[in-house]
Amino acid sequence: MKPARKIFLAVLFLSAWSFLGGCVSKSDFEALQRDQENNSKELLALQRNVYSLNTDIRGQLDDLKKRTAELKREITDLNGEVKSKVGFLEKEMETSGQPMRRHQADLGARIDKLQMDVQSLMGRFEEGKYFAEKNFQESKTLRESHQTKIEDLDKRIAEIKRSMEGAEKKPEGMEKEKTAETEQPPEKPSSETPSKPEASKTQTSAKASEKPAKTAALTPDDAYKKAYDLYNKGNAPAAREEFKRFLQTYPKSKYAENVHYWLGECYFSEKKYDEAILEFDEVLKQFPKGNKVPDALFRQGIAFLEMKDTMNAKLIFKEVIKRYPKSDQANRARKKLKELP
């Protein structure tokens, strides 16, 4: 129960008691009045406290309302800033994503181009392989034909020598007759044994063909040296022909590996890089354990570089390093790979 109500009830009770009793003493009445005055003072004090509390509560409520309004404004401002930043980030993501999408598109186009280039290179490789095999078969047939002709020529020379030896045993009269007949044009010697009346003509033809026979009968060492000297003098076309002639005449010679290699170098000097690569490849195929194999493989890579074919050049240089890691050619291949993009 509230204090003001208690005081009010007490005063009412005392009044009623005074009215009903009618015989209350003066001192009691004064005491009662004092109590009433005290209670009134307490009531006033309580009323003042209540008013002060109400004032404080109203002030606090007003402060809370203001704080709430400020918080609402701050929240609204924050929401605006968040929305603005989110929009900015979305724009930034979209803007930054465009170069990435363009880069992906460019990368896809480059990959497609590389695939087309690889297909084109494979086509060129197959075409080159076909022509290389065709040229190899043709050169093989040509070598066999030349070998047959050389064997026939050797037989004919042997027959001419035999006929010359038989003519030397004849009398001097016959020698004079033969001397007179030497002024006539020499006839082609027959592969059959000449009859006695035609002996002088056969001897004359043999003498006439004696000098060319000596020229054609170069030893493999001399023939190789002749071609190699021409290359060293810078006459690559003439050296190339001599090296080809050597292979036709002495296909099984101990110089065959070197001849194939220097033939490739002749083609390289003439900037015929396709032919050079094929000739170096002959060294790799025919003499896989030969001394010229590392040089031939490395020079193939250089030829591809001259043809602006960097991809195949890198593959060749890596193969040199893999197969001959401690060789000079491997060191040169490593330097070339560092220079390439």
pLDDT reading at 243 higher than 90: yes
pLDDT value at position 215?
A: 43
pLDDT value at position 202?
A: 43
pLDDT value at position 247?
A: 94
Q: To the nearest whole number, what is the mean pLDDT of the chain? A: 77
Do 147 and 251 meet the contact criterion of CB atoms below 8 Å apart?
yes
Provide, rounded to the nearest whole percent, the portion of the chain with pLDDT above 90: 35
Q: What is the pLDDT of residues 251-305, one digit of tens each?
A: 999 999 999 999 999 999 999 999 999 999 999 999 999 999 999 999 999 999 9
Q: CB count, 10 Å around CB of 103? A: 10
Size of the chain, expressed as the number of residues it contains: 341
Please give the backbone phi and psi of residue 307, each rounded to the nearest 5 degrees, phi first: -90, 5
pLDDT reading at 185 higher than 70: no
pTM of the predicted model over 0.75: no
Do 22 and 28 meet the contact criterion of CB atoms below 8 Å apart?
no
Most confident of 59-63, 80-84, 328-332: 328-332
Q: CB count, 10 Å around CB of 143? A: 15
Provide, rounded to the nearest whole percent, the portion of the chain with pLDDT above 70: 67
Q: What is the pLDDT of residues 25-74, one digit of tens each?
A: 778 778 888 888 888 888 888 888 888 888 888 888 888 888 888 888 88
What's the CA gap between 196 and 202, in Å, rounded?
A: 10
**Torsion (CA) 205, 206, 207, 208 in degrees, nearest 10:** 50
